[in-house]
Amino acid sequence: MPTFTLAAPVHADIEIRKSRFIALAVPVPDREAAMGVIADLRTQHPTATHVCWALLAGGQSGMSDDGEPSGTAGRPILEVLRHHDLDGVLAAVVRYYGGIKLGAGGLVRAYTDAIAVALKDAARIERIAYTTLTVLVDYPDEPRVRRWIEQSADAGCSLAETRYGALATLVIRLPATLREQAQATLRDATHGRAGFPAHED
């Protein structure tokens, strides 16, 4: 199933029973970048009651209720991100308390609504996982490999590195989903002579 990230940051500002909820969703590469955004929000809103957030970023996901009752802020925000099939996205909601308690159910709804409103018309772009494919070939076969890379540029393939020794080594950057197909095609193009050493993603 494809996952998406945001084309650009989005925000919303809603009021629920005198409390102000400022929602922000922003594309981030990793947890470190996300924590930088949270720090900036705290600086911009020094008098805010809570800065709650959720992050979906591969294995670096996380969330925080920031003092709200457990499970009433971070998790609802995270669920909205999941509902939109997002990854590589930080969603945060800054709350200014208006003096009326919302109760656990009310808080869940408020945090869900704030981030849902922000994401309502957000432009999403598909996230594509990239990998590398190392190809070892004799020099006479190198042009064949280069031709395939050029022909596959529209599919997201590019030459990342070239090294020359006893054989020519070409490192191709390509969408992970195309890796096996690329290996088979290049094996055919070189009549089985291309070698593919074990790779690291």
Segment 125-154 mean pLDDT: 89
Section 92-119 average pLDDT: 92
Query: Percentage helix, strand, coil, to 5, in the chain?
Result: 35, 35, 30
Higher pLDDT, 7 or 77: 77
- Domains recognised in the chain with CATH numbers: 4-126 (3.30.230.30), 130-190 (3.30.70.240)
Q: Does the pLDDT value for residue 46 go beyond 80? A: yes
Kindly report, residue by residue over 142-157, the tens digit of the pLDDT. Answer: 999 999 999 988 888 8
More reliable by pLDDT, 60 or 138: 138
Residue 111 pLDDT > 50: yes
CA distance 5 to 79: 15
CA dist., res. 173 & res. 143, Å (int): 17
